[in-house]
Amino acid sequence: MKKFVLGFLCASAFFVAGAAAFASNEIKALISSINVSFHVHGETNDLSSDNTIALNYKGQLYVPLRAFTEKVGGDVHYKEEENGGKMVDIYLADDRDLELQDKDGYVRMGHLDVKFAEEGDPSSISGTIKFTRSIPQNKDIVLAILDRDGKEAGVTEPLRLLNQKVSQSVGGDIASFEAAFPYMKPVDGYKLEARVVDKTDWTFFQSYGNLHGAGGVQGYPLVATLGGDVSNPKNVPFELNVNLINLDEENTISIVKPVSFDIEIIQLKDDKTIPIRTIRTKPFAGELVRQLGGVVTAVQWDQKNDKGVVVPPGEYWARLKLPVTAQGEHSSYVFENSMRAKIPVFIDTPLP
């Protein structure tokens, strides 16, 4: 057995489903050589099949709480209370717990925690989702926040599952999810509506924090940033994400004339810029929600130059070709160049 010291949250494999609080302490424990399997609904699941370890502490066997719960078809929610305390809720969900469902019968949701925010960490919804059937590849799952009169107050970004992808989920799967929605005051008497919607080229997301300062962005009220993969093996495409963000605290801005953005792949040698490839995004037109609301789109670089030839391993750069002017309802807006509009991309090369 290997001996080690760690600080962690642990729980016995035997527990009562419901709310439970755990304290974090440093203990000495042994990695157990015992093979732990769970037999649920006629299926056998080996805990070690996903590199999960069990611990032997003072003659008792401990298994990771989340791994065990998910093996038996449950869900674990960890959250921090306003008073600084920590809470773990364990749900062994059936359909009676999951009252919210979309109109087409793809998913059911429950144990929903809705947090409204006007600044700081964004407004968010988290909870448990059960898939009745697989979601088509061209669909996303969102939640709409409706006021007491049924008027839409806001819509979340596409739901993110904590331990798997929506596209990989099949009927019967249960998972934890979370999603942000626009900053707003608490909506009295709100209701939630689950929607399975068509994917779009540009997807809403809610940004937060200070984007200015060292390493920040230039321009107001609209800014563009670039992100994505920075290191990939040879022949593995890079996913590059273009983000458009509205810094205006008060006003949602509508772009009425479709605008596209070019990503330039370059190489720097001997103080010279060598162009490699230019990739254009799909055009964007639509709303950019006030107070750091944004949209994002993804493009791929297949490690080829403009002539279709695979480039050799090495260090390259991806950068947005800026400035770009976009036409709004009443005026035009300029997306200016900034430090966040350029990222390194390494092919088969260690990061510095």
| Lowest pLDDT segment from 19-33, 163-177, 308-322 | 19-33
pTM metric for this prediction: 0.75
- Reading the block at residue 282, the tokens are 């799909």
Which structural domains are found in the chain, ordered by start? 3-72 (no CATH), 93-199 (2.60.40), 205-347 (2.60.40.10)
Reported as a single tens digit per residue, the pLDDT across 192-242 is 999 999 999 999 999 988 776 556 788 899 999 999 999 999 999 999 999
Peptide bond connecting 182 to the previous residue in cis, omega within 30 degrees of 0: no
Confidence band of 19 (pLDDT split at 50, 70, 90): very low
For residue 3, what pLDDT is reported?
32
Q: Are 129 and 178 in contact (CB under 8 A)?
A: no
Q: 211 in the Ramachandran plot: left (φ > 0), alpha (ψ -120 to 50) or beta?
A: alpha
Radius of gyration of the chain (CA): 24
For residue 11, what pLDDT is reported?
36
For residue 88, what pLDDT is reported?
76
Percent of the chain with pLDDT over 90: 60
